Every structure is written in C-alpha cells, then in structure tokens.
C-alpha cells in the first residue's frame, strides 16, 4: 500500500484488517503494530497474496525430559498469553496452556512442564477471589510433586498478586515447599519486540533451579521480568516489595525499599542465574504445604491525601460497608488535618472525620505517595497528631502497593482488631518491611 504522509510517500506491507473507521484502510504490519490511513491518502493498494485459511487447529505435542524438575505453569491470561485476532486487529487473551508450551518449546530443555488454566483475564480484572484460586492451584501443584510453579498473568497488577501470595504463604512465619514465580510480558507474542519468550524461560528456570525460598527475605513469591530494554537478562524481584513503574517498557518493574534477589541470563537459549551477595536464605522457617486464604468479602477504600481530600468522603464511607481505609499520605505519610492560617476549616473537618472513623473501631492506615522511603509520623507534630487519632502506619518501610495487600491479609486473620493489626504492621512478615532501607 502506497500512501501520502507528512514525510512524503510511504509504502506499507501487511495484513488487511477491518478498518478502524469509515473511509480508512488498516494494515497489521510485520512488526505487530497496526497502521491506518484515510482512503483519500492512498495512492495504490496491491494484493500480494490471497487470504490463507488455517489448515489445522491441532497443537503439536511437546516432549519433555522426565528427569528434569517438574514445573507447573498456572495460566491466568494477560499479554504473555495473547495474540492477534485478525478479525478485529485487537490483541486478545486466548492462548491455551498447550498453545503456550508449543509457542515456547525451549522450555523443554529447562524443566518438565505441566500447565493448568484458571482463566483468560486481563490482570486489571483480578480480584481477591482470584488470589485464592491461584494459591489453591499452587497447593495442588506442590502436592503433585512440582518443585516450582510459574503464574502467567497480566503485568498491570502482577505486583499485587505477588504480594498477596507472599503474605498468604509466609505471613504466618512459614515458607512454601517450592518456588513461586510470576511472569508476564509487556509486548504480545506476535510482535517482533516481544519479551514473552525470555521472560517465561527465565521464570521456568528459576522455578526449576533457583534456591528454595526462605520466606522472610521477599522470596516467597518472586517476579521475573526483563532487567533492561535489551534481551539476554531477566531480574528476580521480591514479590512483596516491587511495583510496575512504567506502562510500556520491557523493564517495567522496580524494587521498592528493597533490592533484586538474582538475575537470570539467557545465552543463546542456555539459561543460568546469578544470586546477589545480599540474598542469603537461612531456612529457619518451617515448611508449609498450605496457605492462608484471603477474606474475599473485605472492602478497603484507598484515598489520596492532598487538596481534594475532604471529610464528607470519610463520613460517607462510614455509612458504607468498608472495613478499613488506606490513605496514601504525602511525604512521610502526612494528611491535610491542620489549619495553620485559619482559612482551611475543611482540614479541621477532615481531622474530626478521621478521628471518628478510628474511634468507631474501624482501621485507618497511612502509607506514602513517594513509593520509596519510610512512613514516619514522629518527625512532625501533625504525624504525632495522626497517631493520637488512631492512624496506623508509623515506622513502616512497606511500599504503598504491598501495604494494601498486607492490610487485607491482616484484616483476614485478625478482623478489625486494632491492637493486633497495629502490632503486626511494624513487623517484617515476609520481607516487606526491612529494618534498613535498601535501593
């Protein structure tokens, strides 16, 4: 197809898709991207080949070395399990587990692979019940002799799932019998820039050959993704202290108040790993073959501290069935609750509303919007005022995303018991609250 563009005449070659709009023509290019142009800008359109129908829907079998460690892939969906629907041009989640094995045959040299499917969902659609479903599938995998599991899911909420699994398997002071690894991809498998193959190969390698988890070092559940925009190296990140920090880069995930545990290298299909010097498992915890379930009916409201946080929001929530508040405070964890200039009565109203919330027996926790760094409510007077109101969070190094999951976990096992939750909040349950900040 020859078209007119701002840069002059351009030639595109690809597969014709249903147009994105009336009077347009849309192509799927070889690099995986779609391009659309108005028909008025098209000089010529040449058909290079006729549409080809799929000759077979069968999936070739992959043979595995039975002497290799058993790794079970638990499939939930996401970009790593997506491909192009040429009827619409959209990327859809529709890989079956068998298709994934056929798409990445290199895994056969790393481990003996089994696969189960929980669903085909985008990660932003996941809820607490899915964490329980995934954990139940992990229990089954270990009971069947798997040395490790790999959960494939969308990356948008992968750090929440990894945190949930960390608390569910090790929050009570124990450790799982094998490795729990989460991976995904930023680019779908049909694109030339896909990171899917390297990510899943690295994840399977760690699940099969990495050290057993200690449980208290952030290694209960780990995320394995690209360590940079280039191929060749993936990073093993602590699942309880990580977040997705970029919407599209292949190295989107970053540690929060923690450090990477290891790196997995891919040298022309030969996998190896390097463990960081600071990562030294002691294995002092007992092994558990089951996990703590998350209470699926809990409701936590997240609020953002700032000039638009008002008392009527807290008051409205008091009349609804919410169990706790997690407020992302500014800086060290501060809230707008003081009227220093005598012209912000709304701050005084917020101070009162939070106090009434806490005195009613409900839980309010503050984290920080800064992502990195501690919550410290002892530096400034307003922080001490927040503690007097009953706000939990002081002296925590837990990142804001992990804080949400930690709160959910603690509510699941302690209910609205303020004393128990406050006490556990300052503990380092799974590596989420290290005594010394790391970067």
Task: Give the C-alpha separation, 298 to 300, whole Å.
Answer: 7
Question: To which residue do tokens 């208290």 refer?
Answer: 216
> How many other C-beta atoms can be found within 10 angstroms of the C-beta atom of residue 1?
18
Whole-angstrom CA distances from 1 to 24, 88, 90 are 12, 20, 21
Tell me the two tokens of residue 191. 């694109």
Alpha helices in 319-426 (DSSP H): 345-359, 381-389, 400-414, 418-425
- Which residues pair with residue 175 across a beta bridge? 287
CB 149 within 8 A of CB 111: no
Catalytically annotated residues: 79, 155-156, 244
Tell me the two tokens of residue 168. 């569910």
Q: DSSP assignment, residue 180?
A: E
Q: Please report, to the nearest 10 degrees, the dihedral formed by the alpha carbons of residues 195, 182, 215, 163 taken in order.
A: 110
For 95, counting Cβ atoms within 10 Å of its Cβ (0-12 exposed, 13-18 middle, 19+ buried), the class is buried
Strand order in the sheet with 300-304: 300-304, 324-329, 363-368
Task: Give the C-alpha separation, 237 to 262, whole Å.
Answer: 7
- Which residues pair with residue 74 across a beta bridge? 116, 151
Indicate if the alpha-carbon torsion angle 427, 431, 435, 439 is positive or negative: negative
Helix (H, G, I), strand (E, B) or coil at 42: strand
CB 266 within 8 A of CB 231: yes
């Amino acid at each position: 197809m020859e078209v007119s563009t701002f840069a002059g005449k351009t030639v595109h070659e690809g597969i014709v898709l249903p147009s994105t709009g009336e009077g347009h023509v849309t192509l799927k290019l070889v690099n995986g991207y779609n391009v659309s142009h108005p028909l008025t800008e098209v000089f010529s359109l040449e058909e290079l080949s006729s549409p080809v129908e799929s000759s077979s829907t069968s999936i070739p079998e992959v043979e595995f070395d039975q002497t290799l460690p058993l790794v079970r892939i638990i499939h939930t969906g996401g970009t790593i399990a997506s491909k192009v629907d040429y009827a619409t041009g959209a990327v859809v989640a529709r890989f079956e587990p068998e298709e994934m094995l056929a798409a990445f045959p290199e895994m056969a040299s790393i481990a003996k692979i089994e696969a189960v499917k929980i669903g085909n969902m985008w990660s932003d659609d996941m809820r607490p019940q899915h964490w329980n479903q995934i954990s139940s599938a992990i229990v089954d995998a270990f009971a069947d002799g798997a040395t490790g599991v790999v959960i494939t899911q969308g990356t948008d909420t992968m750090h929440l799932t990894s945190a949930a699994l960390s608390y569910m398997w090790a929050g009570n002071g124990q450790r799982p019998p094998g490795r729990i690894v989460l991976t995904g991809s930023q680019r779908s498998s049909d694109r030339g820039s896909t990171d899917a193959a390297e990510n899943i190969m690295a994840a399977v390698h760690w699940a099969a050959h990495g050290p057993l988890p200690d449980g208290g070092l952030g290694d209960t559940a780990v995320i394995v993704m690209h360590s940079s925009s280039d191929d060749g190296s993936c990073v093993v990140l602590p699942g309880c202290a990580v977040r997705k920090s970029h919407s599209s880069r292949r190295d989107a995930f970053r540690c929060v108040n923690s450090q990477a545990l290891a790196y997995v290298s891919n040298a022309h299909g030969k996998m190896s790993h390097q463990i960081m010097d600071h990562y030294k498992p002691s294995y002092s915890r007992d092994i558990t073959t089951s996990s703590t379930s998350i209470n699926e009916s809990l409701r936590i409201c997240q609020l953002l501290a700032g000039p638009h946080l008002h008392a009527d929001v807290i008051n409205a929530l008091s009349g609804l069935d919410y169990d706790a508040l997690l407020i992302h405070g500014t800086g060290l964890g501060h809230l707008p609750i003081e009227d220093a200039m005598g012209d912000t009565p709304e701050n005084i109203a917020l101070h009162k509303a939070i106090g009434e919330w806490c005195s009613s027996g409900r839980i309010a926790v503050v984290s920080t919007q800064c992502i990195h760094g501690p919550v410290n409510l002892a530096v400034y007077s307003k922080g001490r005022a927040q503690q007097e109101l009953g706000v939990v969070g002081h002296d925590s190094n837990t990142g804001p995303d992990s804080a949400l999951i930690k709160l959910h976990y603690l509510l699941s096992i302690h209910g609205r018991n303020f004393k128990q939750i406050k006490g556990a909040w300052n503990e380092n349950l799974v590596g989420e609250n290290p005594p010394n900040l790391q970067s």
